Structures are given as structure tokens and as C-alpha cells.
Homo-oligomer: A and B are copies of this chain.
């Protein structure tokens, strides 16, 4: 295992590479809130450690070793989040920041026990899949609410997790993972969406909110 800083780089590279496979150093710099030369020199270090494949002026990608390490950290992060919600009774909107710290705890016993207490859970409180202890992860093809046609009914399977304000917003709207929603109206002007919700209430979501909610039809 590397340093806390190295772990955070690896995790961010993994997250960014979900889209295209390759990651630009400038993306990484933005995500980690550091300058390009910092990223540049860290990439050289991670390359000598065989965690990323790096060639000057080319984008980077994780090696198998790097991917494995990323998934181990993500596993700890998501197990921690679910534990904080299910066992400790915290809200889904407040667990991410704590999990950012707990994911770096080095103790197989600690995470073994969490996994046992939660019965080897498959999803975190925001609907993200939890990699198993071998680093195997179930990636779902995800459809955003904004891509759903009027009239369709779908189930909320996941939501963006790293902005507390967004989750606070969902709390006030009364939306949760597993809820069935029907698209009543899609506004062409501003991209906002009106949902029919199990609570019988109609819910209006702005584009900004709807794009952070993923569903399964």
C-alpha cells in the first residue's frame, strides 16, 4: 500500500477512467485540486511503482495492479458508508466525507467485521456497487433520469454521492434509492422534469438534479 496521497490519486484516476479509459493529467489536477506539475511528478512515481502506465505527453491509465488497488480502496469507502448508515444511524448525506477518511484505515479485521455485520452487501447507500474482496465489481449500465421518455416508469438505482447539498435536496423532495417514479412531463425550455412518485405527490426536479439520478426501467 502506498501513502494516503498516492491512494487518493489512484482512486481519482480510476473514477475518471470510467468514461474513456484514458485520463488527462489536467482532469486529474482539477479533480484533486492540485497543479499540473504536481500531477506530473506523481505520475512518474506511480509509473515506477507500476501502478499507472505513463508516457510523456500521453494520457495515463491504471495498470492491473493499479486497478486492483483502486478497487480495494473503493470497497473500503463504500463498505464504510453503508456501515455508517446501517449500523451507526447516520444519514446518507453525511457519510461520504467520513468514508473519505475511513477508506485509508489499514486493518483487514476492521473491514472483515464491517462486511460480516452488513452481510456482504452489494451496494452502498447511494446505490453504487461494492467490489468484493477480490476486486470484482458489478458495473451496471446506468440511465439518467434526464434520458427517460415521458410516460415511462423506472426505479431509482443510484444517485450522485459527493455533494451534501444535493442529497439534502433529495431528502426534502423525499426521494430514495428503490423508489418507483413515472416521468409526467419533460420541459423543453429548461430541461426540468415532473415526476409521479409513490408518495402520490408530483415532484419537480431541475435538470441539474435529474442528471444526478440514475434509474432502471
Taking beta carbons and an 8 Å cutoff, which residues of A are in contact with B? Answer: 84, 87-90, 94, 97-98, 101-102, 105-107, 109-110, 113-114, 117
* CB nearest to A114 among chain B residues: B88
The 8 Å CB contact of A97, one of B87, B97, B107, is B107
Residues of B within 8 A of A106 (CB): 101
Residues of B within 8 A of A105 (CB): 98, 101-102
Secondary structure dominating the interface of A: helix
Q: What are 12 A-B contacts with C-beta separation under 8 Å?
A: A88-B110, A88-B114, A88-B117, A89-B113, A89-B117, A90-B110, A90-B113, A94-B109, A98-B110, A101-B105, A101-B107, A102-B105
Closest CB in chain B relative to A4 CB, distance in Å: 9
Residues of B within 8 A of A101 (CB): 105-107
Task: Give the complex CA separation of A98 and B88 in angstroms.
Answer: 18
* CB nearest to A89 among chain B residues: B113
Closest CB in chain B relative to A167 CB, distance in Å: 14
Known pairs A90-B109, A98-B109, A101-B106 / 8 extra A-B pairs, C-beta < 8 Å = A84-B110, A88-B110, A88-B117, A94-B109, A97-B107, A98-B105, A98-B107, A101-B105
Task: Give the complex CA separation of A106 and B98 in angstroms.
Answer: 8
* CB nearest to A116 among chain B residues: B89
Task: Give the complex CA separation of A217 and B98 in angstroms.
Answer: 43
Residues of B within 8 A of A113 (CB): 88-90
Task: Give the complex CA separation of A87 and B97 in angstroms.
Answer: 22
Task: Give the complex CA separation of A84 and B113 in angstroms.
Answer: 9
* CB nearest to A91 among chain B residues: B109
Task: Give the complex CA separation of A97 and B107 in angstroms.
Answer: 9
